[in-house]
Chains A and B, each alone.
Chain A
């Protein structure tokens, strides 16, 4: 069974720098692009970033460019999102998902709350 499990969320102060992790299982991780998507409370889905199979190509939504960094460790079947200079508007459930063109399957998400 394909499975993605996110972790690393919690309450973070404005300006904080948490790192989210996503552990993949049930599929050949190294063969796939991976994606982060977020959903603010009561709002819609927003694509955040993606990364290719060997980590050499990365893309970001404009609102996080220069603040967030996506990375992966294929030996550990893991995807990461380093988040810096967090703002209140970054408060959201962060999902990891497999794929470039069609994100999916998805993990259960991890909630990041930016609050002082």
Chain B
């Protein structure tokens, strides 16, 4: 049950686009289209931003998009804004009827 692999940090300037990767295995990301992305601001509970690889919950900006290729999923944030600065976590359902999270990525808006 090793965590999904995410970069520890990414950064970008306002208006730019960034992409965060999330690498798993054939028993989780590679098999199931149940990859989710969460945004967490300091001291707050995680907020669901993307589910089922590429779907946005109601109320989430269309600047956030998700995709998947093989064992790697990606979150792209376009038109970066200062309020996007936060920690981002991916998760995937697994063949063991459990969920694995990534280690988290700290996004800095320069």
Q: Is the CB of A62 within 8 A of B101?
A: no
- Bound Cα distance A62, B99 (Å): 12
Which residue, of B45, B51, B100, has the highest number of chain A Cβ atoms within 10 A? B45
- Bound Cα distance A105, B99 (Å): 15
Q: Is the CB of B101 within 8 A of A59?
A: no
Q: Mark B36-66, 1 if CB is under 8 A from A, else 0.
A: 1010000001111001100001000000000
Q: Is the CB of B46 within 8 A of A59?
A: no
> B51 contacts which chain A residues (CB < 8 A)?
101-102, 104
A7 lies within 8 A of chain B by Cβ: no
A54 lies within 8 A of chain B by Cβ: no
> A106 contacts which chain B residues (CB < 8 A)?
45-48
Interface size (B, Cβ < 8 Å)? Answer: 25
> B96 contacts which chain A residues (CB < 8 A)?
59
Pick the residue among B3, B34, B47, B89 that contacts A102 (CB under 8 A).
Answer: B34
Interface residues of A in 28-67 (CB under 8 A from B): 35, 37, 44-47, 50, 57, 59, 61-62
B104 lies within 8 A of chain A by Cβ: yes
B91 lies within 8 A of chain A by Cβ: yes
A selection of 23 A-B contacts at a CB cut-off of 8 Å is: A44-B89, A45-B38, A45-B89, A46-B101, A50-B99, A57-B97, A59-B96, A62-B1, A100-B97, A101-B32, A101-B36, A101-B93, A101-B99, A102-B36, A102-B51, A102-B52, A102-B93, A103-B91, A104-B57, A105-B48, A106-B45, A106-B48, A107-B45
Interface set of B (CB-CB < 8 Å, partner A): 1, 3, 32, 34, 36, 38, 45-48, 51-52, 57, 89, 91, 93, 96-104
